[in-house]
Amino acid sequence: MTTLSRRKSKYEPRQAPKDGKATSAMIASLDAEGRDTVAAPFGHALSALAQTRHDILGLSADLSKYTDLHVFAQAHPDRFYQMGMAEQLLFSAAAGLAREGFTPFATTYAVFASRRAYDFIAMAIAEEGLPVKIACALPGLTTGYGPSHQATEDLAIMRAMPGLTVIDPCDATEITQAVPAVADHPGPVYMRLLRGKVPDVLGRYGYRFEIGKAKEIRAGRDVLIVSSGFMTMRALDAAEALGNDGVDCAVLHVPTIKPLDVETIVAEASKGGRLVVVAENHSVTGGLGEAVAAALMNAGVHPAFRQIGLPDEFLDAGALPSLHDQYGLSVGSVVQRIKEWL
């Protein structure tokens, strides 16, 4: 009798690791790297801003605790709106409030804003140029709960929307600085968020956030790492590790994905024949890497160019540190790839 081999289906239930650590690891925050952290920087920054700006409102789609907006809700309960699990309603209501002269910060998970409510954001907010601020947790690979919660394509989706400013902050320092800057910006903004205990990295470099500006965090003669979001933390750690092996790496942090700081990126990529590596917590399709590549091509600048990002596929569920190793976002992975390319 012939036995037919059975190919495993992706619809089969996944087996939990035998060590029993799946649940805690899957929801672990990025503070496991041993850094100083700040608790709920977005919630505290927005609460502080609202003390002097009475136009600031906070809206949530049943996720205030998980976007750190609960801090704002406790401080300003009369300016907090719980819209329930209805993202289309969330953004439509935010648009209406903006028309009445308010500056609403609407929060949810990045997958729900970019996928589920795209048309409502486009028609009710972006086309009208309304000052709605969309602040979204769980960007890219910052959760282990699989494709339903991993917003690996949100930057590609949102940077294609006309009139929308797109921001990917690195750490607690930048989130704290970005909140008032975003509130002052006259148009709509999509901003990624790190939540909970957020690492504090850029403060030691004297960093100041500005919408539309890329900033050199570290100089280097051999490699230029262009990064956004928490990958700037990883880039700085990788640069230090590579430096111990005699490889001198510069790190250019690009928190604003749109409008892109083309002038600074082109100027830095033109220096000294360095290898240019774009590192991002996003799919290699449609994110910062392709934006930088297009900017360099259009400017006639042609350095050796590589991308570190997530593959163009739906990702696995699992423990977050293991997933970062698996998909090349860990410090060790970044170091190894750069060594291979040099």
Looking at the chain, the number of H-run helices and the number of E-run strands are 13, 14
**Closest to 163 measured CA to CA, from 123, 114, 135:** 123
Catalytic residue among 87, 174, 280, 290: 87
- 204 three-state secondary structure: helix
Q: Which residues of 149-186 are buried (b: 16+ CB within 10 A; e: fewer)?
A: bbbbbbbbbbbebeebbbbbbbbbbbbbbbbbbbbebe
Interaxial angle between packed helices 331-341 and 231-244, expressed in degrees from 0 to 180 and rounded to the nearest 10: 60
> Cβ distance 135 to 109 under 8 Å?
no
240 is catalytic: no
H helices of the chain, where?
22-26, 41-50, 70-75, 87-99, 110-111, 118-120, 154-159, 172-184, 231-244, 262-269, 288-298, 320-326, 331-341
Helix, strand or coil for residue 262? Answer: helix
Instruction: Tell me which residue of 151, 244, 242, 236 sits closest to 199, measured CA to CA.
Output: 236
CA distance 42 to 177: 9
Residues 39/194, Cβ–Cβ less than 8 Å = no
Q: Are 56 and 47 in contact (CB under 8 A)?
A: no
CB 190 within 8 A of CB 250: no
Catalytically active residues are: 87
